[in-house]
Amino acid sequence: MMTIHETLKAYWGYDTFRPLQEDIIQSVMLGNDTLALMPTGGGKSICFQVPVLAKEGIGIVISPLIALMKDQVMNLKKRNIHAEALYSGMKQREIDRILDNCIYGKIKLLYVSPERLHTEIFQERLKQMQVNLIAIDEAHCISQWGYDFRPAYLQIAQIRQWIDPNIPFLALTASATLRVQQDIIDQLELKEAAVFKKSFARANLSYSVFKEENKQVRLLDILRKVPGTGIVYVRSRKLTKDIASFLSRNRIRADFYHAGLGGKTRSEKQEQWMQNKTRIMVCTNAFGMGIDKPDVRVVVHLGLPESLEAYYQEAGRGGRDLKKSYAVLLYHDGDSSQLRSLHEKSFPPLEEVRKCYQAIANFYQLAVGGGWGRSYPFDLGKICKTYELHPNTFYHALKMLEEAGYIQTNDAVFQLSKVQFIVSKEELYKFEVANKKIDPYIKMILRTYGGAAFDNYVEIRESKLAANARIPVIHIQKVLQYLHQQNIIDYIPQSDIPKITFTQERVAIDSLVLDQKMINFRKQVKKENIESVIAYAQNQIHCRSLQLIRYYGETEGEACQVCDLCLQRRKLGLVEKRFQELIQFVKKNVAEQPVIALTDLLETAPFPKKELIEVVRWMEDQKIIEVDAERMLHLIGSPKL
């Protein structure tokens, strides 16, 4: 086997690792359970891909998002690394073939969704695999304290009973508070875990928050001043289209993206943006996961996100090339109350959840006791229309049903058609001799996609085959379907629709129960997340970068000097410590008295009058204090310090 440095050079072309990568990899190579915290764009994937390739055996990578798994598998295959992915909605034959190749074939990395781990077929095959590493990506999903809790992650620790218990676990995440970090260690049962943390500070990223009534005008101003590609996050699907249209009318190449679009459409839009044919992508939070575009110069949020973790991850998609970039949050007073209101509505009562569950069961004609493990095409809008359900209530009921373990939903992911020959070459030859009309098409498939289709599924494009044969696409599809019916190939047509999977048998409506204690706990966690976001937006005193890294438990660190607040302070000509001392002095004196004259404050201050006047003016501009016509000072409210 190659060394880790030889592996890095051979497959990625790099001579050296990024900071922390080598330390994490060496820990895994020594067989240690490891927790790695690396900011978005920090190169987490290499931390598990390299040690798997440098050791005998196969690595199991647990990931929550199909799109993320598909992207990583595709990129690995481009580097001639054998990798596959298993997730809900795949055909049994395809699953069987992949698992067999994990045991007897060349597959080095198998990506699986957490739900797939607990199927009997996976568990039985896993026992036969020579596993060298279990990697848990997006490990914060295991924590009920986290912003993106996935209940299926809670069962991951059970994997140890099906493999050598000494095989190391590597948990990776880009965003976890101290509380979530400890929860990851506890829930995964990491033994004497080695913990590696890269600072959450992003020196090249300038954070700014602006309170704006007319966000669109300010957005246009920002995008005209900052060249290069960017992302604009909004809270609704409708707004993605509205804002993209507004930007296009103002001669900025923009497009929109959200989970309601078909998978093929989303892939095409994403590719246009990746190639800089689209400059600005206006999107919901469905966009960005797994996208590694290094030259994003600006990320704008038009409104408050639901957590600082989400904000940090989304803003962190800017400046991955380490060049100066901007993360801007635009909000107004109504955003805070709207976010709090949405929080209340995101936990519908049990009666509403049962009503939605019943609608799903009726739509798919599932009898009580049936449906376990089955996946169906999922059209949220159609179900809501059929059963007269409010889409927002239905969406949140689905999330509650997922957290309770009844169902799982997957966003639309565009998947090319796949083909694999399921007969031997000798049997295929006999079939060709007996079916002269079909023979040319079989030869064309073999010429186009090679012999790999005998060992694995290969992705095909019917349009390419049709063009080569100079016939309509529908004719090629009929040929492939015929070969499938004759058990010559397994043909899986392309798909780009969301799916819903029943992760347990359908229960009678009265038997559907939710853990109210857990619901109340999750509701409180989300409320705390929202209040943290609001406090961040309203804090007009502390450096933005310091606010974020302290949220993640970092006690060290210097003011960034490039956020909106640091730039304002620098204009006053004051260092951070002096600036804070002056602010605290003014706040303390104004708070202790019903009213105080500016002249009295200046006379009693142990600071130069010029400095104090500048800070008072700044505090007035930030609406922390008010100076009336008689030059009396009043404290009119300030964010928590």
Residue 486 lies in a domain: yes
Higher pLDDT, 633 or 576: 633
In what helix (H) or strand (E) does residue 564 lie, and over which residues does it extend? helix 564-571
Residues 6+ apart with CB under 8 A from 176: 37, 139, 140, 143, 146, 184, 309, 552
Domain identity same for 484 and 566: no
CA distance 297 to 318: 6
Mean pLDDT of all residues in 57-66: 92
The pLDDT-based confidence of 42 (bands split at 50, 70, 90) is: confident
Domain identity same for 27 and 162: yes
Residue 552 lies in a domain: no
Whose structure tokens read 């997730």? 87
Residue 248 lies in a domain: yes
Mean pLDDT of all residues in 485-509: 86
Q: Note the pLDDT of residue 640.
A: 37
| CA within 13 Å, CB half, 499 | 18
In what helix (H) or strand (E) does residue 342 lie, and over which residues does it extend? helix 333-345
Residues facing 58 on adjacent strands:
131
DSSP 3-state of 232: strand
As given in the structure block, the two tokens for residue 365 are 């004609």
3-state DSSP helix/strand/coil percent for the chain, to nearest 5? 50, 15, 35
Q: Closest Cα partner for 119 from 85, 155, 83?
A: 155
| Residue 518, domain extent | 341-412+497-525
CA distance 52 to 54: 6
DSSP 3-state of 593: coil
Domain identity same for 134 and 25: yes
Q: Note the pLDDT of residue 89.
A: 67
- CA angle 185/186/188 to nearest 5° reads 70
Residue 405 lies in a domain: yes
As given in the structure block, the two tokens for residue 13 are 């072309």
The region, left, alpha or beta by phi > 0 then psi within -120 to 50, assigned to residue 150 is beta
The pLDDT-based confidence of 93 (bands split at 50, 70, 90) is: confident
Beta carbons of 35 and 183 less than 8 angstroms apart: no
Range with lowest mean pLDDT among 146-150, 153-157, 542-546: 146-150
Domain identity same for 82 and 155: yes
Domain identity same for 429 and 385: no
CA distance 590 to 587: 5
Strands 632-635 and 596-597, by their bridges, are antiparallel
Residue 177: CB atoms within 10 Å: 19
As given in the structure block, the two tokens for residue 584 are 């605290």
Q: Closest Cα partner for 115 from 37, 184, 169, 63?
A: 63
Residue at a domain's end among 197, 226, 241: 197
Range with lowest mean pLDDT among 100-114, 212-226, 509-523, 615-629: 615-629
Beta carbons of 84 and 107 less than 8 angstroms apart: yes
- How does DSSP assign 380-442, residue by residue? HHHHHHHHT--HHHHHHHHHHHHHTTSEEEE----B-EEEEE-S-HHHHHHHHHH-TTTHHHH
Residue 63: CB atoms within 10 Å: 22
Q: Note the pLDDT of residue 177.
A: 92
CATH number, domain containing residue 138:
3.40.50.300
List, for residues 336-376, the tens digit of each pLDDT value: 998 999 888 899 999 999 999 999 999 999 999 998 878 88
Domain identity same for 158 and 250: no
Number of domains in the chain: 5
| CA within 13 Å, CB half, 88 | 28
Mean pLDDT of all residues in 549-558: 89
CA distance 307 to 639: 17
Residue 430: CB atoms within 10 Å: 11
Beta carbons of 28 and 3 less than 8 angstroms apart: no
DSSP summary character for residue 162: G
Residue 288 lies in a domain: yes
Residues facing 64 on adjacent strands:
none
Q: How many helices (H) and strands (E) does the chain have?
A: 25, 22
Q: Closest Cα partner for 55 from 32, 83, 17, 28?
A: 28
Report CA-CA distances (Å) from 75 to 39, 45, 416.
21, 11, 15
Amino acid at the residue 373? G
The pLDDT-based confidence of 48 (bands split at 50, 70, 90) is: very high
Domain identity same for 234 and 358: no
Residue at a domain's end among 197, 220, 236: 197
- How does DSSP assign 288-334, residue by residue? -TT---TTEEEEEEES--S-HHHHHHHHTTS-TTSS-EEEEEEE-HH
CA distance 365 to 377: 13
The percentage of residues in the chain with a pLDDT greater than 70, rounded to a whole number, is 98
Domain identity same for 155 and 226: no
Beta carbons of 300 and 254 less than 8 angstroms apart: no
Higher pLDDT, 503 or 250: 250
- Helices (DSSP H) in 111-230: which residue ranges? 120-126, 178-187, 215-225
Higher pLDDT, 325 or 409: 325
pLDDT at 483 over 60: yes
Q: Note the pLDDT of residue 412.
A: 54
Residue 535 lies in a domain: no
Higher pLDDT, 531 or 458: 531
CA distance 453 to 420: 5
Residue 406 lies in a domain: yes
Counting every residue written for the chain, the total comes to 641
Mean pLDDT of all residues in 312-329: 94
Question: How would you class 619 by CB atoms within 10 Å of its CB: exposed for 0-12, middle for 13-18, buried for 19 or more?
Answer: buried
Q: Note the pLDDT of residue 496.
A: 66
CA distance 608 to 603: 10
pTM of the model as a whole: 0.80
Report CA-CA distances (Å) from 166 to 30, 33, 190, 272, 633.
11, 9, 11, 45, 66
CATH number, domain containing residue 348:
1.10.10.10
Report CA-CA distances (Å) from 257 to 239, 280, 296.
10, 11, 17
Residues facing 57 on adjacent strands:
none
Beta carbons of 308 and 533 less than 8 angstroms apart: yes
Maximum alpha-carbon separation in the chain: 105
Q: Note the pLDDT of residue 639.
A: 42
Domain identity same for 389 and 304: no
CA distance 564 to 370: 57
Domain identity same for 88 and 142: yes
Amino acid at the residue 627? V
Q: Note the pLDDT of residue 413.
A: 57
List, for residues 224-272, the tens digit of each pLDDT value: 999 999 999 999 999 999 999 999 999 999 999 998 887 788 889 999 9
Residue 549 lies in a domain: no
Residue at a domain's end among 492, 516, 543: 492
CA distance 264 to 400: 29
pLDDT at 641 over 50: no
Residues facing 583 on adjacent strands:
none
Mean of pLDDT over the chain: 89
Domain identity same for 592 and 460: no
Name the CA dihedral angle for 8, 13, 16, 21, rounded to a multiple of 10 degrees. Answer: -50
pLDDT at 97 over 90: no
The pLDDT-based confidence of 629 (bands split at 50, 70, 90) is: confident
Domain identity same for 120 and 23: yes
